[in-house]
Amino acid sequence: MRGEIGAEWASAELGHSTRTARVQAVGRRWAAAPRASFPKMVDSDAELQGLYGLLENDAVDYRELLAAHARASRDRIVAAGSSTILIVHDTTEFSFGGESIREGLGWVSRTTQGFCAHIALALSADGAARPFGVVGLSTIMRERPEPREKGSKRVHHGAQSCRDPDRESLRWGALADETSALFRGHAVPIHISDREADAYDYFCGRLAAGQRFVVRARELQRTVTVLDDDVAHEPSRLRAVAQRAVPVVAREAKLNRRPPSAFPTVRKRHPPRGERVAHLEFAAERVRVARPLHLPHELAATIDINVVHVREPEPPDDAEPVEWLLLTTEPISTAEEILRIVDYYRARWTIEELNQAIKTGCEYESRQLESAHALLIALAICIPVACQMLALRHQSRVDPDAPASTVVSDKRLAALRTIARKPLPKSPTVLEVFLAIAALGGHIARNGRPGWKTLRLGLDHLMIVEAAFAARDQEREAGRSGFDE
> What residues does each domain of the chain span?
399-484
Angle between helices 17-32 and 45-55 (to 10 degrees): 110
Query: Do 42 and 98 meet the contact criterion of CB atoms below 8 Å apart?
Result: no
Q: Which fold has domain 399-484?
A: Transferase Inhibitor Protein From Tn5; Chain A, domain2 (1.10.740)
Q: Distance of alpha carbon 467 from its chain centroid, rounded?
A: 28
- Tell me if 183 sits within 8 A of 136, measured CB to CB: no
Of the listed ranges 93-102, 240-249, 405-414, the least confidently predicted one is: 405-414
pLDDT in the model for residue 148? 66
Q: Give pLDDT tens digits for 46-89.
A: 888 888 888 999 999 999 999 999 999 999 999 999 999 999 99
**From CA 325, how far away is CA 69, in angstroms rounded?**
34
DSSP string, 292-337: PTTS-TTS-SEEEEEEEEEE-SS--TTSPPPEEEEEESS--SSHHH
Residue 154 reports pLDDT greater than 70? no
Closest CA to 351 of 38, 105, 196, 132: 132
Question: Is 268 a residue whose pLDDT tops 80?
Answer: no
* pLDDT confidence tier of residue 159, bands split at 50, 70 and 90: very low
Distance CA 431, CA 162 (A): 49
> If you count them, how many residues does the chain have?
485
Instruction: Determine phi and psi for 432, rounding to 5 degrees.
Output: -65, -40
pLDDT of residue 449: 74
Cα–Cα distance for residue pair 55/53, rounded to 1 Å? 6
Give the C-alpha separation, 376 to 384, whole Å: 13
Give yes or no for residue 155 having a pLDDT over 60.
no
Q: Backbone phi, then psi, for 393, in 5-degree steps?
A: -65, -40
| 136, 70 contact by CB (below 8 A) | yes
CA distance 250 to 310: 9
Q: What is the DSSP string of 185-249?
A: TT-EEEEEE-GGG--HHHHHHHHHTT-EEEEE---TT-EEEE--SS--PPPEEHHHHHHHSPP-E
Q: Note the pTM of the prediction, 2 decimals.
A: 0.86
CA distance 477 to 485: 12
* Average pLDDT of the residues in 110-118: 94
